[in-house]
Amino acid sequence: MLTRLFPALLVVTLAGCQSTSAAPSGDAAAGTNASAGASVTASASGEASGQAAPAAAAAEPQSFDQWLAGFRDQARAEGISEATLARALDGLRYRPRVIELDGSQPEFVRPIWQYLDTAVSNARVTQGRDKLAANRAAADRAEADYGVPAEVLTAIWGIESNYGQNFGDFSTLEALATLAYDGRRRDFARGELMAALEIIDAGDITPQRMKGSWAGAMGHTQFIPSSFVAYAKDGDGDGRRDIWASIPDVMASTANYLDRAGWRQGEPWGVEVQLPSGFDYAQTELDTRKSASAWAGLGVSPLGGGDLPAFDEASVITPAGARGPAFLVGPNFRAILRYNNATSYALAVASLSDRIAGRAGIEGGWPRDEQPLSRTQVKTLQSRLQALGYEVGTPDGIMGPNTRAGLRAWQRDQGLVPDGFATLNLLERLSH
């Protein structure tokens, strides 16, 4: 699932993958929920400020059909043909289920190790090797054209849709029209609906075949329409870009996106590392970047020995704190994050691609005895840290960088390892 022109964060919660192993929302290392537009824009009625609404605002709300008629006029003015408007919009239905999904936010989030157990299961590795073997020519052609390894393209395919087995059966047009009329991010959905009409108008796909997730992510590797318009490629030379049925198009489009996101040919995504005793965990944020030689000077070393990859800019991440594995990640890891801005997702793609290629997966153990916090518990933790004078911002239930920094400061003052990894034990200790 993708965004046009690489906004700072991908729409993870809004456009959640159709894979059975969707990345945990509220990913602690990436702050994924910020990308979902969690804050609701104040309405013109003045409701957010508590002011009385003007009398004109009390007018009867538009019906879906009335809204769709207005959207049709706008699409016509923007150059969409009458034939496309008729094929795409005639009989379009409002889908209440889409709004239910748009409004849902899970209280409990799977810890990263449970997510990776599914996302990088032995069955998915085996199937990935089989799928790559069956589509080797298309994957190798995409790798030759864009420099992105075939196993990375295959891994994204596996994570996003379980190799095409589950990319969604919602009508993209109905889903986006419903969201544009009644969703949390109406302007975004309206723009995506217009892009979907552009795709149909160009002859790439018919309205009936344009299917995907409830939020408009489409095809084998879950492009949203604006990303399709910007980055989809015709990999099989038939004159159309078909990410629903043409694996060459899927491979070429996915590789083009990663190439445009800054993929560096010939570089690894990163490496699992050992951290020295007394390491400063305040440095384990993606926006802290140093050369590999600088990290080596701080005592960071590859888990299996040898030298660190020769990154000019790399970050150390510890997605499960000091008791979990540590990784040194470079520009290609950040390119994967442009596809889906969750550290758990990027780590799944990276690990799955390694295993498909026959390399080792993640070797370090996870703190499986730890109980991560629910969103409500994270809000409680944030409130308590704030009350103790540790600045974390407004409690929102998301373990973002400010919350991790505040938690590390409290841990340091308590004589604990300041890794910023929130657990039930820490919350209970904060309560006393």
The whole-angstrom separation of Cα 29 and Cα 287 is 11
Would you state the structure tokens that stand for residue 236, as one six-digit string?
């099989």
Q: Left if phi > 0, otherwise alpha if psi is -120 to 50, otherwise beta: which for 165?
A: alpha
Q: Is the dihedral angle over the CA atoms 234, 236, 239, 245 positive or is it negative?
A: negative
Burial bucket for residue 179 (CB in 10 Å: 0-12, 13-18, 19+): buried
Q: How many CA atoms lie within 13 A of 133 on its CB side?
A: 8
The whole-angstrom separation of Cα 11 and Cα 189 is 11
- Rounded to 10 degrees, the C-alpha dihedral 10/16/22/28 comes to 40
Would you state the structure tokens that stand for residue 47, as one six-digit string?
């409701």
Whether 160 is a known active-site residue: answer: yes
- Asked if 164 and 19 count as a contact pair (C-beta separation under 8 A), the reply is no
**Sequence-distant (≥ 6) Cβ neighbours of residue 425 within 8 angstroms:** 370, 371
Catalytic residue among 160, 192, 272, 370: 160
- Asked if 310 and 292 count as a contact pair (C-beta separation under 8 A), the reply is yes
- Asked if 214 and 207 count as a contact pair (C-beta separation under 8 A), the reply is no
The whole-angstrom separation of Cα 389 and Cα 371 is 25
- Asked if 293 and 252 count as a contact pair (C-beta separation under 8 A), the reply is no
Helices (H), ranges, 28-148: 64-77, 82-89, 96-103, 112-119, 122-134, 136-146
Q: Which residues are catalytic?
A: 160
